[in-house]
């Protein structure tokens, strides 16, 4: 037993016991530990140790592979995010790409570029009104309130959307 670990034993015990009791307790603990030294436990056999070392080597190579996989997936994820952001940036900041984007992104870009706030507000109000109209028409379609002519209504709706789109970009 490491003698260093006995150094403060009595000091510790004196925090809880009177000095004579602390001395006795320290001696009891020391004697108890001495007694244990007289009964050594069996040692692991060589075959067990060899088997453990083999298992550790296996675990080590598995850890190595795992680390590689983790690193690989991390790089792939970062690359995917980078490519996605690059594509979005190109679409937003290059001419001609805006038409393919969703309404929110395009509108944001157009409003940022515009300096005529009043006209923008009017355009937005028109767009919102038209969107609401389309929403109500979609709802009517879903509820079957169009007299059964689903194909005709869809075509009509499509034409209306195209018209709104071209009107909006004309300003």
Partner 1 sequence: MAKNEHLAQIITGCKDGDGESFSQIVDIYSGRLYGYFYRLTGNKEVSDDLLSELFVKLVEKIKSYHGGSFENWLFRIASNLFYDYLRVKQREKKLFEYQQQQQLELEKPPFRQDDSERIDKLQVQLVKLDVDTKELIMLRFYSQLSFKEISQMRSEPIGTTLSKMHRGLNKLRKLME
70 binds partner 1 (CB under 8 A): no
Structure tokens at 127: 């767009």
# residues near partner 1 by CB under 8 A: 37
Which residue shows structure tokens 């923008």? 120
Q: Which of 18, 20, 23, 49 contacts partner 1 by CB under 8 A?
A: 49
Q: Which of 12, 72, 82, 169 binds partner 1 (CB under 8 A)?
A: 12
Q: Which distant-in-sequence residues (6+ apart) come within 8 Å of 106 by Cβ?
A: 98, 99
Given the rule CB under 8 A, which of 26-34, 94-102, 135-143, 154-162 is the region that contacts partner 1?
26-34
Binding residue (CB under 8 A) for partner 1 from 18, 19, 44, 145: 44
Q: Is 60 in the site for partner 1 (CB under 8 A)?
A: yes
The span from the CA of 117 to the CA of 132, in Å, is 22
Pick the binder of partner 1 from 18, 19, 33, 169 (CB under 8 A). Answer: 33
Q: How far apart are CA 98 and CA 165, in angstroms?
A: 12
Question: To which residue do tokens 């260093």 refer?
Answer: 4
Rounded-to-integer distance, Cα 53 and Cα 51, Å? 5
Using CA atoms, how far residue 48 sits from 2, 43, 60, 99, 165, in Å, is 27, 10, 18, 70, 77
Measured distance CA(121)–CA(103) in Å, rounded: 16
The CB-of-18 to partner 1 minimum distance in angstroms stands at 14
Nearer to partner 1, 7 or 156 (CB): 7
The residue from 18, 19, 31, 131 that contacts partner 1 (CB under 8 A) is 31
Note the residues at the interface with partner 1 (CB under 8 A): 1-2, 4-5, 8-9, 12-13, 15-16, 25, 28-29, 31-33, 35-36, 38-44, 48-49, 51-53, 55-57, 59-60, 63-64
């Amino acid at each position: 037993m490491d003698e260093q670990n006995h150094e403060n034993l009595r000091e510790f015990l004196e925090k809880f016991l009177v000095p004579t009791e602390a001395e006795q307790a320290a001696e009891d603990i020391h004697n108890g530990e001495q007694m244990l030294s007289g009964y050594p436990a069996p040692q692991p056999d060589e075959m067990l140790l060899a088997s453990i070392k083999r298992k550790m080597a296996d675990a080590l190579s598995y850890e190595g592979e795992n680390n590689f996989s983790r690193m690989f997936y991390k790089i792939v994820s970062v690359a995917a995010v980078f490519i996605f952001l690059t594509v979005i940036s190109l679409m937003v900041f290059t001419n001609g790409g805006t038409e393919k984007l969703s309404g929110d992104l395009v509108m944001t870009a157009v409003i940022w570029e515009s300096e005529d706030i009043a006209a923008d507000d009017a355009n937005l109000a028109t767009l919102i009104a038209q969107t609401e109209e389309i929403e109500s028409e979609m709802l009517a379609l879903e509820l079957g309130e169009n007299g059964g002519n689903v194909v005709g209504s869809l075509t009509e709706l499509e034409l209306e959307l195209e018209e709104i789109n071209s009107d909006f970009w004309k300003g």
